[in-house]
């Protein structure tokens, strides 16, 4: 288990992380989200011992991260870090050997991994001959091939089309099934929602949301309704308890309710003439929650500076 306790880190006057704590259990995936500059990459670098915390600690299986522990970690940075004149095979072997693996152990596995991720290139081809998406896949293979027990993926879906993203999902789920602890950051909330057991949201270096993905969604209440009906959007918005709504390009109406209890009244109204093919009442998705939380932070900052008092009111 990975356990992060009250982690803080400043760079001059900038507080990059402020008392952040979380856990990642074996066989679980934690999604780390937040706006740009929220402290996600700093958290990764502190876990990897690339930075020293001002306060707090990082524990892996109850002990501090050591050089030996680092061999059990797979890290995919957001920035691509490949040697373009190396062959695919040598690049993978190079990173595997840095992680304490022997060539004779890893080399026989490379063809199967290239096939698993559908790399459009041979083992002896140079990295520079690959497209950006295939270079990303080589970097992913380099992160996973030594079967790390802790996996940290910083924007792993960057540069991957939907088909190749599914290959990555399969690789992540395979690692989860063998009991790895996995953290990944992504600006694509659909990926986080589909893959993650738990969620940590950072804003300005502080923990803004933390818990199970579904629990966080449900805490906002099932106040979103998607319905297929011949009733006009204008008619639906006039109903008591409907805060707002919009019509999608597919003709479905999406409504925001004042409370979950209103849903039953809306259902009774749209089905008064009989069957409707679509009626779904759900909690807001992570993308909407992300926008709400970041919007709240911006509003708070705006109010703070507008008061001119130097204190939050």
By C-alpha distance, which of 39, 15, 14, 37 is closest to 4?
Answer: 39
Tokens of 55: 């306060």
Tokens of 137: 């896949």
Tokens of 159: 């540069």
Is residue 56 within 8 Å of residue 10, measured between CB atoms? no
Q: What is the per-residue pLDDT for 304? A: 41
Q: Treating both helix axes as pointing N-terminal to C-terminal, what angle do 132-144 and 88-98 enclose, rounded to 10 degrees?
A: 30
Cross-sheet strand order for the sheet of 253-257:
242-247, 253-257, 224-227, 279-282
CA distance 122 to 267: 57
Is residue 106 within 8 Å of residue 94, measured between CB atoms? no
Is residue 183 within 8 Å of residue 198, measured between CB atoms? no
In the chain, where do the E strands start and end?
2-11, 14-24, 29-33, 55-60, 63-64, 73-76, 150-154, 181-185, 198-203, 206-212, 224-227, 242-247, 253-257, 279-282
Mean pLDDT of 246-259: 95
Report how far Cα 250 is from the mean position of its chain's Cα atoms. Answer: 28
Is residue 17 within 8 Å of residue 203, measured between CB atoms? no
Q: What is the mean pLDDT of the chain?
A: 91
Q: Does the pLDDT of residue 290 top 80, yes or no?
A: yes
Q: What is the per-residue pLDDT for 111? A: 94
Q: What is the per-residue pLDDT for 133? A: 87
Is residue 4 within 8 Å of residue 172, measured between CB atoms? no
Least-confidence region, from 29-43, 173-187, 198-212, 295-309: 295-309
Four-point Cα dihedral 194, 251, 245, 231, nearest 10:
-130
pTM of the model: 0.87
CB-count exposure of residue 57 (10 Å: 0-12, 13-18, 19+): middle
pLDDT band at 301 (very low <50, low <70, confident <90, very high): low
Tokens of 176: 């989860």
**CA distance between the termini of the chain:** 40
**pLDDT digit string, tens, across residues 69-124:** 888 999 998 887 899 999 999 999 999 998 889 999 999 999 999 999 999 989 99
Q: What is the per-residue pLDDT for 306? A: 46
Q: Does the pLDDT of residue 65 top 50, yes or no?
A: yes
Q: Which domains does the chain have, with CATH numbers?
A: 2-217 (3.40.50.300), 221-282 (3.30.70.980)
Q: Does the pLDDT of residue 17 top 50, yes or no?
A: yes
Least-confidence region, from 61-65, 204-208, 223-227: 61-65
């Amino acid at each position: 288990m990975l356990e992060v306790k009250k982690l803080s880190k400043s760079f001059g006057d900038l507080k990059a992380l402020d008392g952040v704590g979380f856990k990642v259990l074996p066989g679980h995936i934690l999604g780390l989200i937040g706006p740009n500059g929220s402290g996600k990459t700093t958290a990764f670098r502190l876990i990897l011992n690339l930075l020293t915390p001002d306060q707090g600690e990082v524990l892996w299986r109850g002990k501090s991260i050591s050089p030996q522990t680092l061999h059990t970690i797979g890290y995919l940075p957001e920035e691509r870090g490949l040697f373009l004149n190396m062959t695919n095979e040598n690049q993978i072997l190079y990173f595997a050997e840095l992680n304490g693996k022997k060539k004779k152990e890893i080399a026989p596995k490379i063809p199967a991994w290239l096939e698993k991720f559908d790399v459009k290139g041979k083992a002896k081809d140079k990295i520079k001959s690959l497209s950006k998406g295939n270079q990303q896949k080589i970097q992913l293979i380099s992160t996973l091939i030594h079967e790390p027990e802790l996996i940290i993926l910083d924007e792993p879906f960057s540069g991957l089309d939907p088909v190749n993203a599914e290959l990555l999902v399969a690789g992540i789920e395979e690692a989860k099934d063998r009991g790895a602890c996995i953290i990944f950051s992504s600006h694509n909330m659909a990926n986080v929602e589909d893959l993650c057991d738990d969620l940590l949201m950072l804003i300005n270096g502080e923990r803004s949301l933390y818990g199970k993905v579904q629990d966080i969604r449900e805490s906002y209440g099932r106040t979103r309704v998607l319905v297929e009906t011949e009733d006009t959007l204008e008619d639906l918005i006039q109903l008591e308890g409907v805060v707002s709504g919009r019509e999608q390009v597919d003709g479905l109406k999406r409504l925001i309710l004042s409370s979950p209890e209103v849903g039953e009244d809306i259902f009774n109204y749209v089905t008064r003439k009989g069957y409707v093919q679509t009626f779904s009442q759900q909690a807001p998705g992570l993308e909407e929650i992300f926008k709400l939380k970041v919007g709240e932070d911006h509003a708070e900052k705006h109010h703070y500076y507008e008061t001119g008092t130097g204190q939050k009111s």
